[in-house]
Amino acid sequence: MMPSPKPRYPFHGPASLLLALFAVAAAWGLQFLTIDNGIEHWVSDDESAADYARFKSDFGSDDYTLIAYEGRELFSEDSLDVQLDVLERLEALEAVATVKSIPTVFREQFGAEDPGELRHEIETTPFYEHLIVSPDHRIGGMVVNSQSVFSAEGRKTYMGELNRAAEPLQAAGWTTHIVGPCVVNVALDNASERESRRLLPWAVLFSTLVLFLRLRSIKKVFLVVSVSAATLVVTLGLMGWLGFTMNMVTIALPPILWVLSMAYSVHFLRYYERALRDRLDSDLALRRAISQCLRPCLLSAITTALGFLALLAATMTPVRDLGMSAAAGILVAFLATFSLGSFLISLLRIDARPIASAGEAQRGMGIWNVAFRYPKTVLVTGVVLALLSIVSSRNIAVESNPLTFLEPGAKVVADSDFVMEHFSGVYTLEMVLNLPENWLEQRNWPVLEEQANALSRQPGIVRVISPLDYLKKLNQWEHGGDPEYYRLPDTTGDAIRLVDELPVRERDILAMLITPDGKRARLSALVRVMDGEDLIRILRTSQQALAGAPTGYTGYHTGIVLQLVQAQIALVQTQLKSLGLALLVVFICIFIGLRSLRLLLFSVLPNLFPILILFGFMGLAAVPLDPATVMVAAMALGIAVDDTMHLLCSWQERLTEAGDSVSAMREAVLLNTPAMIATTTTACVGFLALSLSTFGPIRFFGLLSGGAMVVALLADLWLLPALVVQFTKKKAGPS
């Protein structure tokens, strides 16, 4: 017998070779893929960003690192020697601009010679409290300002240098607590790198094991795994070439693409096996599988990609990057399925062993028959659950605390909690006040004090640093350090004289609080709360106070953390709007692809249902919306559309042959259920692997995505057939 000729069709050799070459080129880009959780990447590029840029130009950055230390006497000679040593180590670092600390005051005000005078200076006025010493004078602090904008690697180097510089404190018996935005960034970078190495292997292992149990064939598993691996290599490589970075959100992308890309090849195998069971040879079976599977897979890929592209409306760059990368990855998965997948089917001589036996499929129909026997009950139940979910979704809160991405026991979390409880704030809310004249004019002082007091009275504010604080201190020094003179000078002339007499080397603090023309003042509120809603409440109260200022006094609020919180809130708002647009575009694509208004209407409820249930569960279980969980809506949309397309395309196919719509839908369910269950269980287990993450939001993302898979399957196998049974007549024709 002559060997069968190798099949020839557009998706064979040339396309596979092209994909292989493309994968090799893309793989080279993997070396350029880095991890970067810099807070600057999470803020939006809008008016608030312009305000922050203006603030930095006028006053410098609000990004500082605080080294708090406790456990020993602060003002003894030997302890001051250690603190001076650490101060010198810090100032020797190239990236350090200034250091404010107890030893700084000791050296510059007292020549490092009189610990008793230093103690009296620190303890007799509130000027230093919550800055370099705690109110009980038992905890010291070194506020380190950098003069660099760091890359991810630069941050790690910088924080390593700071930790080494602080080692003498620990060696002398102090316990140190190092906090600040840079510290959080490095902790997130390290955790992201660790999670990126851990999550994908678990997702691969779990999903592959489940896949083998469903497919019962090493060859088929190899085919599916090969397609998913090619998808990952090409997508991640392209991200590297395009300069995208991995972060605490995009580390979820590899597991997402891995499990979603499996669906295409599993459905493709199901069509191929069906053709083989019709006694076609492998060449014709492959041709038929491609012709039958191409349209539903293409529609699924396009609609899923559109769901992810809805994330482009986000204000946060990492979320936009994930949306763009995931959309590209889905299209790569589609191409890999019909090029590499078809090539491997031919090469491996895949047999016709079904994904599930006919007996299993028939037994499974007993469950799905509920939709055919009780369509009204199924639909009423679905509508009621959807309405209850809408009500419950109103309880969803917005989470903007970056510390929630870390394990509760992480050192940076413990250090931040300690500092907020016992010492100071871990970030600042900045207010810039525009003055009608130079700040040293006495009539400006009541306005400055009024605005500072409005901020300081808010729960969560430790204290507000004002240029008037420094002016009070200058007045005290003018009167020999007498604590009674820690107050504003008597006249404008006295204030001008005090500032004019200030040595140049001591004007750096003033330069951080007043612009050179003296007409813009900075009020820096030390914040000890991390919840975004608390910060917004503080902001609104301060904005009301500013609105009530006398004519001629204007200003704005800013700060890197405020930008982060505002971007987070905007992210949720824009995602809800963009989700509506994405649904509209997806349904238009369904209408164009299926060319049937009736099928479009049938697809609405099964595709909306998983999203509504998802938001309802989040409201009920108090799962917050954050940069990770906000993406689940796009995920749920893509998941729901996938199986809907295969069912509706099969229904269209079977409608003419079956003679009536209900019988056609029964056959479509019977035909597609095994593959749908295989893809759902595989993907669900893959997503649940994300629940092993130490990142809380990623853990919730995995659990919610896995749940969305199950709900989407139930919606397609119950709601869709129930709609067909309830709203169609038993006659042929797909119109």
**CB-based contacts of 475: which residues, under 8 Å, 6+ apart?**
485, 486, 487, 488, 489, 494, 498
Q: How confident is the model at residue 149 (pLDDT cuts 50, 70, 90)?
A: low
What pLDDT score does 44 carry?
65
DSSP track, 38-53 = -GGGTS-SSHHHHHHH
Contact between residue 331 and residue 271 where contact means Cβ atoms under 8 Å apart: no
Answer with the residue of higher pLDDT: 60 or 168: 168
Return mean pLDDT, the chain.
84
CATH 3.30.70 in the chain is located at 64-179
> What percentage of the chain reaches a pLDDT higher than 90?
34
238, amino acid identity? L
Confidence check: pLDDT of 732 > 70: no
Among 92-96, 219-223, 267-271, 304-308, the range scoring the smallest mean pLDDT is: 304-308
pLDDT tens digits along 170-222:
999 999 999 988 888 888 888 888 887 888 888 888 889 988 888 888 999 99
pLDDT tens digits along 320-337:
888 899 899 999 999 899
What pLDDT score does 7 carry?
43
Architecture of the 64-179 domain: 2-Layer Sandwich (3.30)
Q: How confident is the model at residue 734 (pLDDT cuts 50, 70, 90)?
A: very low
Confidence check: pLDDT of 32 > 90: no
Among 364-368, 463-467, 531-535, 637-641, the range scoring the smallest mean pLDDT is: 364-368
What pLDDT score does 12 carry?
53
Category of 676 on φ-ψ map: left (φ > 0), alpha (ψ -120 to 50) or beta: alpha
User: How far is it, in rounded angstroms, from Cα 245 to Cα 122?
Assistant: 46
Per-residue H/E/C for 154-179:
HHHHHHHHHHHHCHHHHHCCCEEEEE
**What radius of gyration do the chain's Cα atoms show?**
32
610-626 mean pLDDT = 87
Looking at the whole model, is its pTM more than 0.85? no
Q: How confident is the model at residue 366 (pLDDT cuts 50, 70, 90)?
A: low
CATH 1.20.1640.10 in the chain is located at 13-35+186-395+565-727
Confidence check: pLDDT of 162 > 90: yes
pLDDT tens digits along 92-130:
998 898 899 999 999 988 888 889 999 999 988 889 999
Answer with the residue of higher pLDDT: 49 or 615: 615
486-506 mean pLDDT = 88
Among 55-59, 199-203, 580-584, 706-710, the range scoring the smallest mean pLDDT is: 580-584
Contact between residue 187 and residue 406 where contact means Cβ atoms under 8 Å apart: yes
Contact between residue 478 and residue 485 where contact means Cβ atoms under 8 Å apart: yes
Highest mean pLDDT among 450-454, 666-670, 702-706: 450-454
User: How far is it, in rounded angstroms, from Cα 225 to Cα 219?
Assistant: 10
What pLDDT score does 501 carry?
87
Highest mean pLDDT among 189-198, 489-498, 560-569: 489-498
What pLDDT score does 178 carry?
94
Q: Please give the sequence-ordered ranges of beta strands (E in DSSP) within 580-656, or none if there are none.
A: none
Distance from CA of residue 130 to its chain's centroid?
Answer: 32
Confidence check: pLDDT of 731 > 50: no
Instruction: Quote the CATH superfamily of domain 13-35+186-395+565-727.
Output: Multidrug efflux transporter AcrB transmembrane domain (1.20.1640.10)
Contact between residue 633 and residue 615 where contact means Cβ atoms under 8 Å apart: yes
